[in-house]
Amino acid sequence: MAASASDHYHGVELLLKYGASPNLQDAQGNTALMYACDGGYTEVVGLLMHYGASPDVQNGSGATALMWASYHAHTQVVQLLIDSGANPEA
């Protein structure tokens, strides 16, 4: 998750190639996708989505990756999530 939160594309890619789950949640229920959306890291978001990250997973507060991206006005990330099937009503 730290690699996603820090925009380390190649680190995320390596972890995913070797079997890391793109939907793993931390103690608060946050996912790597949420952290990438929080930072507006479009390429990392796309990579996570390619490996099967679900944009509709909710954390312990009920927030989704789309909500994180929207909150910070990362419009490219929001568009990518919606184009990839994120439910705007989730």
Render pLDDT for 58-83 as a digit per residue (tens, 0 to 9): 999 999 999 999 999 999 999 999 99
Distance CA 76, CA 39 (A): 12
Q: Is 59 a domain residue?
A: yes
**pLDDT at res. 90:** 79
Based on the structure, what is the number of domains in the chain? 1
d(CA 50, CA 3): 16
Q: Are residues 34 and 68 in contact, defined by beta-carbon separation less than 8 angstroms? A: yes
d(CA 42, CA 72): 13
pTM for the model stands at 0.94
Q: What are phi and psi of 74, to 5 degrees?
A: -85, 80
Residue 90 included in any domain: no
Per-residue model confidence as pLDDT tens digits over 21-49 = 999 999 999 999 999 999 999 999 999 99
What confidence score (pLDDT) does residue 1 get? 81
Residue-range definition of the domain harbouring residue 31: 2-83
Domain of residue 12, CATH code: 1.25.40.20
Cα 10 to Cα 7, 55, 68, distances in angstroms: 9, 21, 22
